[in-house]
Structure 1
Amino acid sequence: MQIKDKVVIITGGANGSGAALARRLVSEGARVIIGDVDRKAGEELLTELNQNNKVNAIFIFCDVTNFDHLSQLFDTAQNTFGGVDIVCNNAGIGKKNEFYDQTNSWIKIIDVNLNAVIKGTQLGIQYLKKRGGGVIINTASMSAFYPMRYAPIYSTTKRAVVGFTQSLRDLKDTDKIRVNAVAPVFFVSNLTQGLIKSKRHEESTKKLGFVPIDDVIDAFIRIIQDDKLAGDTIAVTKNDKSKIISKSSL
């Protein structure tokens, strides 16, 4: 799929990889709907993206655990730009020792990292069908394959995202909708900084390392442009920027 003139929804789009992806897509001629709970960062990004009185982007406050908020992203894309072509279920949170801190903070991690991805995909399918097809990209993590002992719930959600994505491979044939995932190792962001402040993290960084955020964004772009990819996960590591992890669904 070409990017120019396409309409893209990005959750968690005000910071980190979401903001970097929004910048790249707008630079290549797309229009984006950015959903995020960080209103200040979202509005600042909007000012940056909308230059010369041209509306390239719209920011909407969106808590992805509120499905009415998620629906508003799609309704806005439909009413403002005429539809949706690409959906990036990118919002994610993490917290070290989330399973062991004797609170229920792990429930929110599942709601954001997994349940919202499922609902965002359901909505994506509904709206992409109106366009005759499209692309959905779910943000996973290499912790799906190398689970982090200090963040077992986070790792579980990312493994689930990979399995969920693989299970939707047949949508390419039935509805011309390609669902794929991106699974990066660590890169500099608010989320990773929150996860890695631990001595235990030293082992993880030695094993997986860090990658430039541009490598992560390149993986998103590859998925959009490569019409052969469906149900696949692109791993982004320091040794391989775009390894395809693919398994057949039953």
Structure 2
Amino acid sequence: MQIKDKVVIITGGASGIGAALARRLVLEGAQVVIGDVDKKSGQDLVTELNQNNKIKAIFVFCDVTNFDNLRQLFDTAQNTFGGIDVVCNNAGILPIEFYDQTDNWVKTIDVNLNAVIKGTQLGIEFLKKRGGGVIINTASVAGFYPWKLFPVYCSTKYGVIGFTQSLRKLNNTDKIRVNAIAPGFVNTNMVKNVMSTVAEGVERLDYAPIDEVVNAFITIIQDDKLVGDSIIILKDIPSQIVSKSFL
């Protein structure tokens, strides 16, 4: 799929990977709909992207754990730009969870997995109206290699990988390609907030370059042969496409 003139939804798009992706997509000629709970960062990013008085991006407040918010995000994209071509289920959290004896792990599942499933359901509904499209789910290398410090986080990312692979046949029935990206740690505020806990993992894997993560999104959008695949991105290692389950 070419990117120019396409309409792209990005959840968790106000900062980090999502913001970097939004900037790249606008440069490539796409129109971007950014969903996030961070109103200030989202509105600031949209102001940056909409220079020269041309509307290239809009911001919609969206708590992805609130399915009414998700529906509003898709409806707004449809009403503003006339349709949706690409959905990036990118919102995610990396909390200190499980071992701290709180229920933070429940929110981890809601944001990292349940919202991806709901966002994909909505994506299928809206992409069908365009005759097909692309859905990209943000997983993690933690979806392939478990990390003892974050058992619930890893569970959600394993879930995203399995969910993505299970939707491979949508390309045959509805011309919708569902793929995933699986970066290592990326130097974002989310990771910095839990740096003291994840230091062991960062030291072992180092940071995945955010530009390479964005490149993986672009590759998935443009390469029509990628269906049910995941791209693993690590520092100083060529990106690897994992194309099939073990079964």
- Using the size of structure 1 for normalisation, the TM-score is 0.96
Which position in structure 2 is the counterpart of 1:139?
138
Q: Deviation string for 1:204-227 (max 9, x for gaps)?
A: 223322121101000000000000
Q: What displacement does 1:159 show?
A: 0.7
User: 1:42/1:244 Cα in 2 relative to 1: closer, same or farther (>3 Å)?
Assistant: same
Distance 1:240 1:234 in 2: 12
Which position in structure 2 is the counterpart of 1:26?
26
Which SS does the other structure have where 1:137 is aligned?
strand
Please list every run of 5 or more consecutive structure 2 residues that lacks an aligned counterpart in the other structure.
none
Please list every run of 5 or more consecutive structure 1 residues that lacks an aligned counterpart in the other structure.
none
The answer as to 2:201 corresponding to 1:204 is yes
Distance 2:89 2:191 in 1: 17
Q: 1:166, 1:249 within 8 Å by CA — same for their partners in 2?
A: no
Which SS does the other structure have where 2:185 is aligned?
coil
Which SS does the other structure have where 2:14 is aligned?
coil
Q: What do you get for the CA RMSD once the two structures are aligned?
A: 1.2
Q: What displacement does 1:241 show?
A: 3.7
Q: Deviation string for 1:34-81 (max 9, x for gaps)?
A: 000000100100110001110000101100000010011111111111
Which SS does the other structure have where 2:9 is aligned?
strand
Which SS does the other structure have where 1:242 is aligned?
strand
Q: What amino acid is aligned across from residue 19 of structure 2 in structure 1?
A: A
Q: What amino acid is aligned across from residue 240 of structure 1 in structure 2?
A: I
Which position in structure 2 is the counterpart of 1:174?
173
Q: What amino acid is aligned across from residue 62 of structure 2 in structure 1?
A: C
Q: 1:117, 1:138 within 8 Å by CA — same for their partners in 2?
A: yes
Share of identical aligned residues, percent? 68
Which SS does the other structure have where 2:237 is aligned?
coil
Distance 1:249 1:87 in 2: 27
Which position in structure 1 is the counterpart of 2:75?
75
Which SS does the other structure have where 1:197 is aligned?
helix
Q: 2:209, 2:234 within 8 Å by CA — same for their partners in 1?
A: no
User: 1:152/1:249 Cα in 2 relative to 1: closer, same or farther (>3 Å)?
Assistant: closer
Q: What displacement does 1:170 show?
A: 0.4
Pairing of 1:29-178 with structure 2 (within 5 A): 29-96=29-96, 98-178=97-177
User: 1:113/1:70 Cα in 2 relative to 1: closer, same or farther (>3 Å)?
Assistant: same
The answer as to 2:210 corresponding to 1:213 is yes
Q: What amino acid is aligned across from residue 56 of structure 1 in structure 2?
A: K
Which position in structure 1 is the counterpart of 2:190?
191
Distance 1:27 1:88 in 2: 17
- Using the size of structure 2 for normalisation, the TM-score is 0.97
Q: What amino acid is aligned across from residue 91 of structure 1 in structure 2?
A: A
Which SS does the other structure have where 1:158 is aligned?
helix
User: 1:13/1:241 Cα in 2 relative to 1: closer, same or farther (>3 Å)?
Assistant: farther
